[in-house]
Structure 1
Amino acid sequence: MMINIFDKKSNTNIIIAGIFALIIGMGVARFSFTSLLPSMLESRIDISFAGVLASINYFGYLLGAIFAIFIKSIKQKVLFFRIGLFLSITTTLLLGLDTNDFLWIVSRFIAGFGSSMLMVIGSSLVMSRLKFEDKTKAMGIHFSGIGFSMVVSDIISRVVLNYSSWQYSWFALTILAVILSFYCFYILDEQKSENFTKIKTNAVKFDSFIFVLIFSYFTVGIGFVVQATFLPDIINSIKGLEGLGSNSWLLAGVAGIPSCIIWMRLAYKFGSSNIILVCMFLLIISILIPTFTNNMFFNLLSAFLYGATFIALVALFLNLGGIIAKSNPAFLMGALTSSYGIGQISAPLYSVALLNEYKTYDSSLYVTAFILFLGAIILYFNKNKEKKYASN
């Protein structure tokens, strides 16, 4: 039986388009900056300016997530999803042109906004279009695109760097994004005959459990960004492990690809809150490993556990938010992503301050693990409230 890759109603095609969107928005427009940073530090920017660019990207992502909360109609969602595609592509191209610092700052800010459109709005479109009674397993496959985005963008960056400069890596990433965007644009359009037009955008009633999820996801954002910003340098700073940090990000991405599928299947069987708690505690372990051992295996395990949990936690929280919100998943997904974004912006501030004070990452990792532990404990004592949403 022939598979029609242009069938807009196909669940498989919808998921593929969603994964392509995540590769563009998360991989090309966000994570590729991490892969290319060492090369750009050699000839284009210094570490202080790199920190500014990273922070402004997180800020753009946060504003985009907040903006997504107020997008109600399907027509508007599709429009801003496509705007996100355009912004992610053009801002990537701009970095390859090696323009002045101000334009780089503007570019990273806009890239963050575009990323949130593809992450929040794109994921809500995928969830709305999928024709399953329970979409947990399917959304696990969709969110595996975050892991793919890390791996694909890193591999392309490395291949081009072997033959040319970091500027041409940005050009290659732009070409990839353009190619993938055509399929996203075509499949995730406004389907008037689909359940898109039948969805009512009722307001989500915020109860105590939703606020617990928002706070817990805030702590996960802190746990994500400290590792994402400093993971290679953390490993390189450990005596005897110098030079091993360069592969940690790729390893995290590889671990993240199957993690969403595996953890979401477990969430389908054991409940989302229970699996979220397991992932949060494994992430805490990954954060603490570099503070008590310089063993190569355990520190590579730290990178692996990081990728295997932080990506899955994004999928688990946003999928649970979509289940709770039902008819308007973008609203609660936006609220959750906003709290995550606040965590992303705040964590580097105390991390840099503690690093300058103590000249080691240990204190930053201890604080991060403690904050994440608070989020896990609060969720643990409220996890049974999830059942009422499953029954509705």
Structure 2
Amino acid sequence: MPQFHRDSNHSILLAGILALVVGVGVARFVFTSLLPTMLEDSISIAFAGVLASINYLGYLTGSVFSIFIKDIHAKVRYFRFGLCLCVVSSFVLGITENNTLWIIARLFAGFGAAMALVVGSAVVMLKLKATNKTKAMGIHFSGLGFSIVITDLVMRAVFYFGGDWKDAWLVLAILGAFLSCYSAYILRFDKQPSNEVVKHKFDKSLFSPMVIILILAYFTEGVGMVVQATFLPDIVNSLDGLAGYGGYVWLAVGVAGIPSCIIWMRLAHRFGSINIMMAAMLLQIVGILIPTFSSNIVMNLISGLFFGATFIGLVALFMNFAGQLSNKNPVFIMGAITSAYGLGQIIAPLYCVALIKQFTTYNYALYLTAIIVACGILLLTYAKLNFKEAKQSMV
């Protein structure tokens, strides 16, 4: 069967997408889908913020760790280990309400997510046999959108058949285990004699001024992404007349995200990566601010669409551009920029919770987040004006 051929681009891309469903959907984003129900039943908004930050701390740790994974077979081993962590940590959330175990589970889920996204994407990039890897990686990163849609629909199905949020975690863990088997089977390399194994050395020269700007800009995008990625359903539910609509807006995020990577990557190919990153971040700012001035359901659905279309596309744009800058060791700079992204994701939920408790509204957290993303646009503008890599970013 062609879908089980390990060297087929179609199989490689499918395996990469399914790995993202497990690592990003099951281990990370379904927490957002389930958060309103868990807030009603079990946890406080403060503890939700702590769990989000702990998850992103694990993600940051995994991203930093990925920089130092040297040979391709080690990458595959840690990728598989990450998928296992994603499944087991989700299972734990379904069988206990112990706060300490939840914190540990979310920490390991974050580490596993980094292995699935950062290391898994590097494995996909290395395995692909394509003349235009930019477009192919756009297809791969569409898995981020699928991860939201698939896990959200599974959660809704569990609720429809009378289950609760605990049952949803268990069902999602089982689904994650099933999907992981296919990804682990396809995303591997043939064994080589130890003296022929490709190893990638830690190369400090890769940290050019362009890469440093990219790291700082991706930090601001980590902040911009995580606020809505953690709280969007609850933000919408808190608006006048929109209680209960948050889940639909979150589903819109995933739907918008599926084609966004392919569209943004093609635009980057035509107009340059830096230009398109700035355009996407500007659109994201608009989406972030909509809930601060409108409680209209259509406007807030547009906010969700803007968020899904931009944050998923920006992951693809930044990761692909980082891979292009790093030549034959994509995991190196992918890990470096994702570490900065993860740091932004740790900080943002904490300041959000503080501002929410102070002002009893999400507005001020959203204002600050928009300002930080705007700083990222300014950084990329500086890079475009001063660095040749940015000027020639027609990938």
Which TM-score applies when normalising by structure 2? 0.93
Q: How far apart are the structure 1 equivalents of 2:394 and 2:221?
A: 27
CA contact (8 A) 2:49 2:353 kept: no
1:128 to 2:141 alignment = no
Q: Deviations over 1:216-237 (max 9, x none)?
A: 1000001011111221222222
Gaps of at least 5 residues in structure 1 are: none
Give the deviation of 1:386 after TM superposition: 2.3
Q: 1:385 — aligned with what? A: 388
Task: Decide whether aligned partners of structure 1 residues 364 and 10 sit closer, same or farther in structure 2, where only a CA change above 3 A counts.
Answer: same
CA contact (8 A) 1:200 1:327 kept: no
Identity %: 53
Give the deviation of 1:29 after TM superposition: 0.9
Q: Deviations over 1:310-367 (max 9, x none)?
A: 0000010001001111111111011111100111111122222222222322222111
Q: How far apart are the structure 1 equivalents of 2:253 and 2:136?
A: 22
**Matched ranges for 1:15-164 at <5 A:** 15-98=13-96, 100-163=98-161, 164=163
Aligned letter for 2:79? F
Task: Decide whether aligned partners of structure 1 residues 169 and 238 sit closer, same or farther in structure 2, where only a CA change above 3 A counts.
Answer: closer
Give the deviation of 1:266 after TM superposition: 1.1
Q: How far apart are the structure 2 equivalents of 1:363 and 1:91?
A: 33
**Matched ranges for 1:272-311 at <5 A:** 272-311=273-312
CA contact (8 A) 1:91 1:110 kept: yes
Question: SS in structure 2 opposite 1:381?
Answer: helix
Q: 1:262 — aligned with what? A: 263
Q: 2:349 — aligned with what? A: 348
Q: How far apart are the structure 2 equivalents of 1:371 and 1:235?
A: 22
Q: 1:190 — aligned with what? A: 189
Gaps of at least 5 residues in structure 2 are: none
Q: Deviations over 1:9-60 (max 9, x none)?
A: 1111101000010000000111111222233334333333222222211111
Q: 2:214 — aligned with what? A: 213
Question: SS in structure 1 opposite 2:361?
Answer: coil
Task: Decide whether aligned partners of structure 1 residues 351 and 41 sit closer, same or farther in structure 2, where only a CA change above 3 A counts.
Answer: closer
Aligned letter for 1:320? F
Q: How far apart are the structure 1 equivalents of 2:165 and 2:228?
A: 23
Q: Deviations over 1:196-250 (max 9, x none)?
A: x675625252111111100110000010111112212222222233332221111
Q: Deviations over 1:142-176 (max 9, x none)?
A: 00101100111111011112222222212211221
Q: How far apart are the structure 2 equivalents of 1:41 and 1:233?
A: 9
Task: Decide whether aligned partners of structure 1 residues 232 and 39 sit closer, same or farther in structure 2, where only a CA change above 3 A counts.
Answer: closer
Question: SS in structure 1 opposite 2:4?
Answer: coil
CA contact (8 A) 1:18 1:126 kept: yes
Q: How far apart are the structure 2 equivalents of 1:314 and 1:277?
A: 13
Q: How far apart are the structure 2 equivalents of 1:166 and 1:292?
A: 31
Q: 2:327 — aligned with what? A: 326
CA contact (8 A) 2:32 2:233 kept: no
Aligned letter for 1:276? M
Q: How far apart are the structure 2 equivalents of 1:37 and 1:390?
A: 39
Task: Decide whether aligned partners of structure 1 residues 390 and 238 sit closer, same or farther in structure 2, where only a CA change above 3 A counts.
Answer: closer
Deviates more, 1:283-292 or 1:95-104: 95-104
Q: How far apart are the structure 2 equivalents of 1:168 and 1:296?
A: 30
Deviates more, 1:43-52 or 1:280-289: 43-52
Number of aligned residue pairs: give it: 387
Q: How far apart are the structure 1 equivalents of 2:267 and 2:377?
A: 18
CA contact (8 A) 2:242 2:297 kept: yes
CA contact (8 A) 1:273 1:386 kept: no
Q: How far apart are the structure 1 equivalents of 2:4 and 2:320?
A: 26
Q: How far apart are the structure 2 equivalents of 1:314 and 1:214?
A: 12
